[in-house]
Protein backbone atom coordinates (compact mmCIF):
# COMPACT_ATOMS: atom_id res chain seq x y z
CA UNK A 1 0.00 0.00 0.00
CA UNK A 2 1.39 3.39 -0.99
CA UNK A 3 1.90 5.98 1.73
CA UNK A 4 -0.36 9.01 1.69
CA UNK A 5 2.17 11.66 2.71
CA UNK A 6 0.68 15.07 3.47
CA UNK A 7 2.75 18.24 3.16
CA UNK A 8 2.38 21.48 5.08
CA UNK A 9 4.67 24.42 5.78
CA UNK A 10 7.73 22.82 7.36
CA UNK A 11 6.44 19.24 7.60
CA UNK A 12 5.74 16.13 5.60
CA UNK A 13 3.76 13.51 7.50
CA UNK A 14 1.62 10.39 7.38
CA UNK A 15 0.16 9.99 10.87
CA UNK A 16 -2.72 7.63 11.43
CA UNK A 17 -4.31 6.94 14.80
CA UNK A 18 -6.56 4.11 15.93
CA UNK A 19 -8.73 5.49 18.71
CA UNK A 20 -11.33 3.54 20.68
CA UNK A 21 -13.61 4.82 23.42
CA UNK A 22 -16.62 3.50 25.32
CA UNK A 23 -19.79 4.89 26.90
CA UNK A 24 -19.78 5.26 30.68
CA UNK A 25 -20.16 1.86 32.39
CA UNK A 26 -19.84 0.39 28.88
CA UNK A 27 -23.59 0.65 28.46
CA UNK A 28 -24.80 -0.47 25.00
CA UNK A 29 -26.52 2.86 24.20
CA UNK A 30 -25.02 3.49 20.74
CA UNK A 31 -27.77 1.92 18.65
CA UNK A 32 -30.26 3.03 16.01
CA UNK A 33 -30.63 6.79 15.59
CA UNK A 34 -28.05 7.49 18.31
CA UNK A 35 -25.39 5.43 16.50
CA UNK A 36 -26.20 7.04 13.15
CA UNK A 37 -26.04 10.53 14.64
CA UNK A 38 -22.79 9.71 16.47
CA UNK A 39 -21.22 8.59 13.18
CA UNK A 40 -22.42 11.78 11.49
CA UNK A 41 -21.06 14.01 14.28
CA UNK A 42 -17.65 12.32 14.33
CA UNK A 43 -17.30 12.71 10.57
CA UNK A 44 -18.38 16.37 10.71
CA UNK A 45 -15.93 17.21 13.52
CA UNK A 46 -13.09 15.43 11.72
CA UNK A 47 -13.83 17.35 8.51
CA UNK A 48 -13.96 20.63 10.46
CA UNK A 49 -10.54 19.90 12.00
CA UNK A 50 -9.00 18.69 8.73
CA UNK A 51 -8.67 15.09 9.92
CA UNK A 52 -9.27 12.31 7.41
CA UNK A 53 -11.52 9.47 8.56
CA UNK A 54 -10.13 6.22 7.17
CA UNK A 55 -12.54 3.93 9.02
CA UNK A 56 -15.25 4.47 11.60
CA UNK A 57 -17.43 1.93 13.33
CA UNK A 58 -19.96 2.81 16.02
CA UNK A 59 -20.76 -0.32 18.02
CA UNK A 60 -23.42 -0.46 20.78
CA UNK A 61 -20.80 -0.22 23.53
CA UNK A 62 -17.75 1.39 21.88
CA UNK A 63 -16.49 3.46 18.96
CA UNK A 64 -13.56 2.48 16.69
CA UNK A 65 -11.93 5.24 14.65
CA UNK A 66 -8.98 5.18 12.25
CA UNK A 67 -8.11 8.79 11.51
CA UNK A 68 -5.24 10.65 9.85
CA UNK A 69 -4.30 13.89 11.55
CA UNK A 70 -1.74 16.70 11.43
CA UNK A 71 1.33 16.33 13.69
CA UNK A 72 0.12 19.26 15.84
CA UNK A 73 -2.95 17.21 16.79
CA UNK A 74 -1.98 14.59 19.36
CA UNK A 75 -4.08 11.44 19.81
CA UNK A 76 -5.26 12.90 23.15
CA UNK A 77 -6.43 16.08 21.42
CA UNK A 78 -8.27 14.12 18.73
CA UNK A 79 -9.99 11.80 21.23
CA UNK A 80 -10.96 14.62 23.59
CA UNK A 81 -12.32 16.83 20.83
CA UNK A 82 -14.47 14.02 19.46
CA UNK A 83 -15.68 12.77 22.85
CA UNK A 84 -16.54 16.26 24.09
CA UNK A 85 -18.36 17.34 20.95
CA UNK A 86 -20.34 14.13 20.49
CA UNK A 87 -21.29 13.96 24.16
CA UNK A 88 -22.60 17.52 24.19
CA UNK A 89 -24.67 17.16 21.02
CA UNK A 90 -25.96 13.61 21.58
CA UNK A 91 -27.04 14.32 25.16
CA UNK A 92 -28.84 17.46 23.98
CA UNK A 93 -30.65 15.58 21.20
CA UNK A 94 -31.43 12.29 22.99
CA UNK A 95 -33.02 12.60 26.44
CA UNK A 96 -32.52 8.87 27.09
CA UNK A 97 -28.76 9.47 27.27
CA UNK A 98 -29.23 12.13 29.95
CA UNK A 99 -31.47 9.93 32.07
CA UNK A 100 -29.42 6.72 31.82
CA UNK A 101 -25.88 8.05 32.24
CA UNK A 102 -24.20 10.79 34.31
CA UNK A 103 -21.90 11.44 31.33
CA UNK A 104 -21.93 9.81 27.90
CA UNK A 105 -18.31 8.66 27.65
CA UNK A 106 -15.96 7.03 30.12
CA UNK A 107 -12.93 9.15 30.95
CA UNK A 108 -10.48 6.82 29.22
CA UNK A 109 -9.73 5.93 25.62
CA UNK A 110 -7.35 3.68 23.71
CA UNK A 111 -4.96 5.17 21.15
CA UNK A 112 -2.31 3.60 18.94
CA UNK A 113 -0.64 4.41 15.69
CA UNK A 114 -2.30 2.67 12.75
CA UNK A 115 -0.62 -0.63 11.99
CA UNK A 116 1.00 -0.90 15.41
CA UNK A 117 -1.87 -2.50 17.28
CA UNK A 118 -3.39 -5.96 17.19
CA UNK A 119 -7.07 -6.72 17.39
CA UNK A 120 -6.37 -8.53 20.68
CA UNK A 121 -4.93 -5.34 22.21
CA UNK A 122 -8.00 -3.34 21.28
CA UNK A 123 -10.29 -6.10 22.56
CA UNK A 124 -8.41 -6.14 25.87
CA UNK A 125 -9.03 -2.38 26.27
CA UNK A 126 -12.74 -2.73 25.47
CA UNK A 127 -13.14 -5.69 27.82
CA UNK A 128 -11.55 -3.87 30.75
CA UNK A 129 -13.92 -0.92 30.52
CA UNK A 130 -16.51 -2.67 32.64
CA UNK A 131 -14.48 -5.24 34.50
CA UNK A 132 -13.67 -2.97 37.45
CA UNK A 133 -15.63 -3.79 40.62
CA UNK A 134 -16.29 -0.19 41.59
CA UNK A 135 -17.86 0.47 38.21
CA UNK A 136 -20.20 -2.50 38.57
CA UNK A 137 -21.42 -1.24 41.93
CA UNK A 138 -22.07 2.25 40.59
CA UNK A 139 -23.86 0.92 37.50
CA UNK A 140 -26.39 -1.12 39.46
Which residues are catalytically annotated? 125
The backbone region for 87, taken as left when phi is positive above 0, alpha when psi lies in -120 to 50, beta otherwise, is alpha
Whole-number percent of the chain with pLDDT over 70: 81
* CA end-to-end distance (rounded Å), the chain: 47
Q: 47-63 pLDDT, tens per residue?
A: 999 999 989 999 999 99
Average pLDDT over residues 55-73: 93
The pLDDT, as a whole number, for residue 115 is: 60
The answer to whether residues 38 and 82 touch, using CB atoms and an 8 Å cutoff, is no
Instruction: Please name the helix (run of DSSP H) or strand (run of DSSP E) that holds residue 84, with its range, or none.
Output: helix 75-93
**What whole-number distance in Å separates Cα of residue 41 and Cα of residue 46?**
8
> What domains are defined for the chain?
14-139 (3.30.70.1290)
Q: Quote the pTM value.
A: 0.80
Amino acid sequence: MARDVQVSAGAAYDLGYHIVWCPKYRRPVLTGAIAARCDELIRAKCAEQGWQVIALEVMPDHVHLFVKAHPKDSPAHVANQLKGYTSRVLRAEFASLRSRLPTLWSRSYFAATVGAVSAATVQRYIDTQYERPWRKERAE
